[in-house]
Amino acid sequence: MSDPKKLFIKTYGCQMNVYDSERMAEAMGAEGYVTTEVQEEADMVLLNTCHIREKASEKLYSDLGRLRALKLEKPNLKVGVAGCVAQAEGAEILRRSSVVDLVVGPQAYHRLPQMVAAGGRLVDTDFPVEDKFSVLPARKVTRGPAAFLTVQEGCDKFCAFCVVPYTRGAEVSRPVARLLDEARGLVAQGVREITLLGQNVNAYHGEGPDGAWGLARLVRELALVEGLERLRYTTSHPNDMEDDLIAAHGDLPQLMPYLHLPVQSGSDRILKAMNRKHTADAYLRLVDRIRAARPDILLSSDFIVGFPGETDADFAATMDLIRTVGFGMAFSFKYSARPGTPAAEKDPVPAEVADARLQELQSLVTAQQRAAQEAMVGREVSVLYEKPGRLPGQMVGKSDHLHAVHVQDEAGRIGQLVRVRVSGSSSNSLAAVPVSAAH
């Protein structure tokens, strides 16, 4: 019997790309491929790209350049480009890089095995009529007791800075029955925490047995799955944060007290230019309602500084919003023009101004994150053990609030949900010791 072919996947960007990479690995696994962490021993290299941030294409072509020597050494090596850069650039990737054999968009990757079997240099960036999830093989858990589950794809919001509506397409929600089946299958394989994914996840409107279901109803049904201890969801839009979903945070112990709720700016003028369709005040009132339902919730957000037209006063309004909310975590970026988006046609803020603003904002959010972590010291939290730590007898997992926690627990094992007392805080993680028996 011949050795199986080996597949190496490099994943750029968001959690949805992590999920997509796992599904592509499963699709190729059905064709006899096994995954490898060593690129040099692969028979196929797949680069699953992200187009959200600056210089995404340049990063791709740099990686492809480094693959040239391996391709010369192994002429039969297949090289594929998947994801949002593949969707945006299509056949241009084949033109620019002779090492690439396959280009496949995020809605067509279920057809990857057929593309490989067909041979030649191929591009598939269509938005197929068939549901890719119904074609893909059954899930196989490879990342331990926590798993991602894509429930919704695409976005209809058309923020002025964002390429997602163009690369991922219009909003599409998966049927309830298929999601429940997939979740139960994951739990049967030992998964205890599921994060529901979507470009605009709280706009979920999947077909249920009695009409369309919203995200809140889906979450409530998933909370009934025996053995599923924790639920999260990301990424949300403030305009789709409806009353029943807010209430679910107070009602369901399985729904973790962490919410990523991007605002992007604290200036109404900039929010309007971004086409966000909400105001800073509306966002703050929404935060108040969420905290009323779940007082211990930790909020994170996204911020863009240096958006075209942003003045010192606009930036000051963003800083004021950050101080008012008090985020436990935040992701901040300097604006970068994405070709084809409305904002790309506008004059940018001078780079040195944007750089200075980003540094000032990151200093503030870092201080807030540090304060949130230090406030956890002495408190009891639950941690789901996901892997062994670097030290003997140490386990690493995530807390209810999504903090990385290193627990000194000689008896710990992967998949345990353990009550611990936080004993210390470092820059990006907490230290803790068990305070009760695992269950």
Please report, for the domain that includes residue 168, its CATH number.
Answer: 3.80.30.20
The CATH number of the domain holding residue 398 is: 2.40.50.140
Same domain assignment for residues 109 and 195 = no
- Residue 115 included in any domain: yes
Judged on CB neighbours under 10 Å (0-12, 13-18, 19+), 247 is middle
Position 53 scores a pLDDT of: 63
Residue in the block written with tokens 């949002």 = 84
Domain match, 53 and 166 both: no
* Statement to judge: residues 346 and 417 lie in one domain: no
Same domain, 9 and 103: yes
What is the structure's pLDDT at 131? 67
Residues 48 and 161 in one domain: no
Res 109: pLDDT: 86
CA distance 103 to 125: 8
Q: Could you tell me if 85 and 151 lie in one domain?
A: no
Number of compact structural domains in the chain: 3
pLDDT tens digits, one per residue of 282-328: 999 999 999 999 999 999 999 999 999 999 999 999 999 999 999 99
Question: Binding site for [4Fe-4S] cluster: which residues?
Answer: 14, 50, 84, 155, 159, 162
The domain that holds 85 is classified in CATH as 3.40.50.12160
Taking only the tens place, the pLDDT of each residue in 48-86 is: 988 766 667 788 889 999 999 999 999 999 999 998 888
Report pLDDT for 51: 75
Q: Are residues 120 and 151 in the same domain?
A: no
**150 lies in a domain?**
yes
Extract the annotated binding site: 14, 50, 84, 155, 159, 162
Residue 66 inside a domain? The answer is yes
Report whether 330 contacts 322 (CB < 8 A): yes
pLDDT reported for residue 17: 84
CA dihedral 258, 260, 263, 266 (to 10 degrees): 40
pLDDT at 163: 82
- pLDDT score recorded for residue 425: 97
The whole-model pTM stands at: 0.84
pLDDT digits (tens, 9 = 90+) for 91-139: 899 999 999 999 998 888 888 999 999 988 989 888 765 566 777 776 6
Domain boundary among 124, 155, 184: 124
**Rounded distance between C-alpha atoms, residue 155 and residue 166, angstroms:** 9
In a domain, 366, yes or no: no
Q: Are residues 151 and 206 in the same domain?
A: yes
Domain match, 62 and 204 both: no
**Is residue 348 within 8 Å of residue 335, measured between CB atoms?**
yes
Q: Kindly state whether residues 88 and 151 are assigned to the same domain.
A: no
Are 265 and 176 contained in the same domain? yes
Average pLDDT over residues 412-430: 95
If asked whether residues 151 and 200 sit together in one domain, one would say: yes
Q: Which pLDDT band holds residue 400 (cuts at 50, 70, 90)?
A: very high
* Domain that residue 93 falls in: 5-124
